[in-house]
Amino acid sequence: MANSVSVNTTNKDLWAGGAEPYKASYGKLMMWFFLISDAFTFSAFLIAYGVIRFRHPGYEGTLSDFSFSQTYWPVPEKVFEAFPFFHGVELPLVFVGLMTFILILSSVTMVLAVEAGHRMDRQGVEKWMVWTIFGGLMFLGCQAWEWSHFIHGTDAGSKLLDGSIIYGANLQLNQYGPPDFAAFFFFITGFHGFHVFSGIALNFLIFYQATVGILEKRGHYEMVEKVGLYWHFVDLVWVFVFTFFYLV
Amino acid sequence: MIEPEVSTIKPQPADKKKIFKIWWVAGILALVTAAEFYVALQFPESWKSFKIFLFIGMTFIKAGYIVMEFMHLGHEQKSLMWTILIPTAFVVWLLGALFIQADAIYQAIYG
């Protein structure tokens, strides 16, 4: 049984080739390289969004006169202003702000789980992993509500160029503005949401392994650090999505 | 085989300073997010480009704290840090370049 706390004996840290590149373990380094490639994918999404956004005319008038139109790009704070149980009340960006806050908090609990892992504190790891998973699920729930609201649309709907009224958005038609706007909303937040989902799955797996004592037996909690890297990355991507999709 | 529910290993005591640092960074992130809201909703509409400048600046502050502290990159070996950051910097350059392109497309259609 692993009853030794010391992890960092020199031999153990070496890779099979007998060296330790960057003084990082194989798993952690590969997680970093994966995250770099994932960052490229998300950058591609955000760059494409920026390019399409830039080549559409923006809204020129004052915010209070704003109405949805197919001829210009919508102002995000006029699109995302709904909040559950506050139907008809204009609360610009409040809900998405709540989601941001939830994700940042779950990132904090993840750091605390990693910190507990360094101290071989099994109960601490379990506790903070549960909170992290809980935060992730809350975020996904919020996103499901937001998608549902976005798809079903507002009470008034808006006029298409041919004069017909449309409510909500799908991949062909969009009440909030040019169809591209809805397409990017679905693809960017959807791709991010899927990352959150897989992050929750990984977190749960590691939580389970910690709970049944597999990680303790292994002698270290490095797996918590690895899924932690992934989880922080998901938070990081949301920080960028929040700015470039909802604020700018 | 089922492992015992309660650990036989005695955890090392928590370093109060480390825990405080984590919550300190969390506080900064929350504060910057709150500031973003203030800028988005309270600053006049006519300051559009200044607002965008602030948003992007604050985003990079948040990204910096998440990557350097939460993801621990600032405390890894410097060579690893640059291996991660330099490719990302090129993406930022690509971003700028393509936005100039996009503006040229806009000018060709509407200008």
Report pLDDT for A142.
94
**Can you tell me the mean pLDDT for A97-107?**
93
Gap from B21 CA to chain A (nearest CA, Å):
11
- A169-178 long-range contacts, Cβ below 8 Å, gap at least 24? A174/A70, A175/A68, A176/A68, A176/A74, A176/A79, A177/A68, A177/A69, A177/A70, A177/A72, A177/A73, A177/A74, A177/A79, A178/A56, A178/A70, A178/A72, A178/A73
- State pLDDT tens for residues A62-94: 878 888 888 889 988 888 888 888 887 778 888
On whether the CB atoms of residues A169 and A176 are closer than 8 A, the answer is: yes
Residues 76-95 of B with CB under 8 A from A: 76-77, 79-80, 83-84, 87-88, 91, 94-95
On whether the CB atoms of residues A106 and A235 are closer than 8 A, the answer is: yes
pTM of this structure: 0.89
pLDDT over threshold 90, residue A106:
yes
DSSP category for residue A244: I
- State pLDDT tens for residues B8-18: 778 888 889 99
Domains in chain A and their CATH numbers?
Answer: 34-247 (1.20.120.80)
Please indicate if any CB of chain A lies within 8 Å of the CB of B111. Answer: no
Q: How far apart are CA A169 and CA A181, in angstroms?
A: 10
- A57-64 long-range contacts, Cβ below 8 Å, gap at least 24? A57/B106, A57/B110, A62/B45, A63/B45
Q: What percent of chain B has pLDDT above 90? A: 50
Gap from B105 CA to chain A (nearest CA, Å):
6
Burial degree of B32 (CB within 10 A; 0-12, 13-18, 19+): middle
User: ipTM of the predicted structure?
Assistant: 0.88
